Structure 1
Amino acid sequence: MKRIDEIEVQVGPLTVGRVEVHVLRCPIATPVRTSFGTMHDRPAVLVSVTDSDGCTGWGEIWSNFPACGAEHRAAIVSTVLAPMLTGCRVAHPTEIFRDLTEATAVLALQSGEPGPFAQAIAGVDLALWDLRARRAGLPLWKLLGGSSDNIPAYASGLNPVGSAELVAEKLERGYEAFKLKVGFGVERDVNNLKILREIIGPNRRLMVDANQAWALPQALEIVPLLAPFNLGWLEEPLRCDRPLSEWQTLADSSPVPLAGGENIAGHDEFDAAIASRAFAVIQPDAAKWGGISGCLRVIRSTQVAALTYCPHYLGGGVGLLASAHLLAATGGDGMLEIDSNPNPLRTLLHGPLDTLVNGRVSLGNAPGIGIEPNLTELREHIREAAASVDAVR
C-alpha cells in the first residue's frame, strides 16, 4: 500500500499574495437540534488564499457552535494567520499546516482556545490544497492520488421531529443510507428508529448520532435497545473527553459498532483512539482539525488498522466538497456525510453533490474542489432567505 504523499501529483511552490476570510450567515425556518444545543441559523466561514499569480483556493472553517463563533474564528484568521501567511513561499501545504500549528501553539494555550485556532488553521489548509490542485489543473481527488471520483453518501442531521418526512424526501432523491440524531429520551429515540426502519426497509443503512449525550452507565443501558434496528454505527454516545477505557467498556458490550472523531484533535489523540480498538469508524472533520494535511495521516492509520474512515461534516458547501474529494482520494468503504437540513450555504456551493444515483455521487474533473464561490450571489440569497423566514414568523 503506497503512502498518499508518495502518489500525490507534485506541484511547484507558490507565494501567498493575500488571505481573506468571509463570514456568511443564513437564517433558517426550522432550527437544527442536537442533544447539547440548537442552531437557529446556518453559518459559514470561508477562507480564500490567492497566490502572487492571481490563482485562488477556497477553504471553510467549522463554526457551528457557539452561536457567535463564526465571527471569532474569522478574526483569528484575519488578525493572526493572514499576517503570517502573506508573502510566504509555500512549497507544500503540509509544511504550512505544521508551521502555523507550531507558531500559534503557545498563543492558543495562553488564550485557552486551542479549538478555534485549530479550526482556523484547518480552513486555511483546505484553501491551500484547493489552490494547489487548481494550479495543477486537476480535481483535488486526482491531485491526491485518487483513482475514482465516485463515492457513496448518506443523509445526515435527521432531527427528532420531522425525520420521517425528510427521509421519504431523501429516498426520492437517491439516498440509500441515513443517520438519525438521538439522545432525546429513550422512548422517543426508539420510536423514531422504528418509524425510520419501516420507511427505509431492512436493507438500507441506518446509523445514529448521540452527540455526546450519555454517561457510561446510561449508555450501557441504552445500547441493547438499539440492537433490533441493525444500525451501522452509534456515533459519540459518550463525551469525547471520557477516558478511552470507558469507550472500550462500551464497545465490548455494545451490539452496535461505535464511531467518533469529530471532536478529536491531534495525531497523538487519533493514534490513541485507533489503537484502543473502541471505534469501528473514525470520523475526523477536516474543517475542524487538520484540514487535509492533518487528516491524511489519520486516514492512512485508520485504514492500516482495518477500521473505516468516514469524514464528519456539517457545514457549508466548500468544506463539504473538500471532504468529498478527500474521501474519493483515500478510498475505503466510508461514506460522505451530507446534512439533510435546509442550508443555502451548502446547496448553493456543493456542485455535483446534489445528484445521487443509487446512493452515490460523482465529483467530476473540474480543478480543485470544482466550484468558485460567488460571494455577491451568496449574500443576495441570504437576504432573500431572511425575508422568507421573517414572513413565516
Structure 2
Amino acid sequence: MKTNRRHFISSAVAGTLGAAALPGTTYGSGLPGSGSLPLDLKSRYASLDEAVQRPVFRKELFSSPVILETLELLRDRENFMVRVRSKDGAEGIAVGHTGLNPKGGGGQSVRNWPVSKLLFDQFQGKDARELDSLIPGDNGKGGGIPFNIALATLEFAILDMMGNTIKKPVGELIGKIHNPMVTVYQGSRMPELLSLPPEQSLEIVKKDLEETKAKAIKMRVGLPGALDKDSKAGNEKLIRMARKTFGDQMVLGCDGNNKFSVEGGIRMGKVLEDYNYVWWEEMVPFGWYDELKMVKNGLKIPIFTGESEAHISTFRWLIANDACDVVQPDQLYFGGMIRSMKVARMAEIFGKTIVPHITQYGLGYIYMLHFISACPNAGKYQEFDTFSTRDANGNQIPIVYKSGDPMVSYDGVLKVPTGSGLGIVIDPDYIKKHKVVNDW
C-alpha cells in the first residue's frame, strides 16, 4: 500500500474500535491433553514430528507464482528494516529487532548483515508461495537467535507483501482467524520490580495500567547473577504486596528470569500458589530442561517457558516430556511465525497452550497479534508492554493501522489489525531515513 505523509497524518485520527468475541482458551493442563495419544515417549515424538511436517503457509490462496525480485536491508544507524518486492510490484516491509538497549546500541540486529545477505541470496528469485520450504528447519548446526532474528524479519516482510497481494491480513496466510481480539497481560517494568521497594514499583505499574487496562499483570522476582536470592525489592514481599495492591480479581503471574534452582523454584512456586498467582515463568537457568520438569512436577501452578529458545527440537523435548504447560516462542528469536506455528501445533496435540514472548519496543506486539489471531490454542492472556514502538535508536516508529482503528486497549483487549499484510502503514518519511545497505 502506497501512502504519503498527508494520508499518514489523516489516518492517525480516523476510525473506531470494533467489537468482537474475546479469546476463550485457558492455560494448558499437560499430558495426555485433548487427544487420545499413546503415552509412550516414542509415540509422542512421532505425533509431534507429524505436526511439524504439515505445511503452515496457505499456498492455496494464490493462483499464480509470486516471484521475489527485490530484497533490501535498510539501515538508519542502529536500526534496520527489510523491504521486499515481487516481480509484479507488490511490496512488504518489516522492522527488525530493536536490540537489548532501545536507546542505542542495537546489538542483536544491525551488525548481523552477513546472515541477512545469505538469506537474501537464498530467497532471491524464488516463488514466495513456497515459503514453508524456504524457511529453514532444524537441520545441521544452523539457527541460533542472531540467525533467527534475520530470518524472522525477512519472513515478516514477505508475509506483509503476500497479504498485500491478495488483500488479507497475515493471520489468514498462516491459518484461520480464531482470535480477532486478543486479551493481554501487562509485562512491563522489570528493572523497577527487581530494584525498587514494592511501595514504589507497584505505583509505577498502576500508572501503566491506565494505558493498557490489562486484567492480568506479570511480577518479577530473583537477584541477577545469583540463584535463590531475594531481589532488592524482596521476592515474597513483592508477591504479597502485589496481591494486596491489585486485589483478588486481578490475574497475576510471575517471571523468575532464570534465577532459581529446583528447590528454590518449587519453594517460590508454592508462595505464588498461596497468593493465587496463575503462572510461574522461566524460573530455572536457561537450558536446565530436566530441572524445569522437576519444578513442574513439584507444583500445581502452570509453568511457562520457551522465550529464549531457538530450535524446534527443544520445544519437541519440552512438550513430549511434559516439562511445561505453556510454550513461549518469541517470533523474532525463534525465526518467525511459520516456525512458531509449528510449535503451537505440537503444543495443541497435548492440550498445551501458546503465549509467545514478545520483543519489547519495535513492532513486537504487532507480530504477536497477527500470530495469535491464527492460534486455536492461544492462552487467555497474551504478553503486552505498552504501545511504545521505539526503534533501536530510541525513536518512535510512526505507524497507523490501515483499517483506521486507533491504537488503544479496549478494557485490556487489543484488536488484531485487519488491513492487508501486517495491517499497518509506516510513515514514509521515517522509512526514507533508512538507506539501502550495499556494502556487504
> So what's the TM-score if we normalise by structure 2?
0.71
Residues 1:69 and 1:290: Cα distance change in structure 2 (over 3 Å): closer
Partner of 2:42: none
Kindly indicate whether the alpha-carbon contact (under 8 Å) linking 2:79 and 2:110 is maintained by their aligned counterparts in 1. Answer: no
2-side partners of 1:51 and 1:215: how far apart?
51
Quote the Cα distance in structure 2 between the aligned partners of 1:338 and 1:58: 22
1:366 aligned to 2:366? no
- C-alpha separation in 2, matches of 1:188 and 1:353: 39
Q: For the structure 1 residues 74 and 188, does the alpha-carbon distance in structure 2 shift closer, same or farther, using more than 3 Å as the test?
A: farther
Q: Residue by residue, what CA displacement relative to the aligned partner does 1:142-196 show, whole Å, maximum 9, x if unpaired?
A: 3331144111111113221454233322332321111122223436232222332
Contact 1:264/1:284 (<8 A) preserved: yes
The correspondence for 1:260, drawn from 305, 320, 328, is: 305
After superposition, where does 1:275-354 map in structure 2 within 5 Å? 275-334=320-379, 335-340=381-386, 343-345=389-391, 348-349=398-399, 351=401, 354=407
- State the alpha-carbon separation in 2 of the partners of residues 164 and 93 from structure 1: 45
Contact kept in structure 2, 1:58 and 1:318, CA below 8 Å = no
Corresponding letter in the other structure for 1:368: G
Aligned counterpart, 1:21? 73
Q: Structure 1 122/179 Cα, relative in aligned 2: closer, same or farther at 3 Å?
A: same
> Please, which of 210, 226, 233 is the counterpart of residue 256 of structure 2?
210
Considering only aligned residues, what root-mean-square deviation do their CA atoms show, in Å? 3.1
Provide the rounded CA distance (Å) in 2 between the counterparts of 1:44 and 1:233.
34
Mapped partners of 1:4, 1:95: distance in 2: 9
When normalised by structure 1's length, the TM-score is: 0.79
Match of 1:10 among 61, 67, 74: 61
For 1:340 and 1:117, how far apart are their aligned partners in 2?
A: 27
Change in CA separation of 1:142 and 1:280 when aligned onto 2, cut-off 3 Å: same
Whole-Å Cα distance in 2 between the matches of residues 179 and 7 of structure 1? 35
Which range moved further: 217-226 or 290-299?
217-226
**Larger relative contact order, structure 1 or 2 (CA cutoff 8 Å, min sep 6):** 2
User: C-alpha distance in 2, partners of 1:252/1:353?
Assistant: 44
| Structure with higher helix content | 1
Q: How far apart, CA to CA, are the structure 1 residues paired with 2:264 and 2:56?
A: 43
Identify the residue that residue 51 of structure 1 maps to in structure 2. Answer: 86
Cα distance change of structure 1 residues 59 and 14 upon mapping to structure 2, 3 Å threshold: same
Cross-structure match for 2:221: 182
Q: Quote the offset at 1:21 in angstroms.
A: 2.6
**Secondary structure class of the residue paired with 1:330:** coil
Q: Which runs of 5+ in 1 are unaligned?
A: 26-42, 381-393
Query: Which structure has the bigger radius of gyration?
Result: 2
Q: SS where residue 360 of structure 2 aligns? A: coil
Kept in 2, the 8 Å contact 1:23–1:74? The answer is no
| Paired position in structure 2 for 1:197 | 243
Aligned partner of residue 71 in structure 1, secondary structure: coil
In the alignment, which of 113, 133, 137 is matched to residue 167 of structure 2? Answer: 137
What residue number does 1:98 align with?
136
Structure 2 regions of 5+ residues with no counterpart?
1-34, 36-50, 224-228, 434-440
2:282 aligned with 1:236: yes
Counterpart of 2:183 in structure 1 is 152
**Offset of 1:310 from its aligned partner?**
0.6
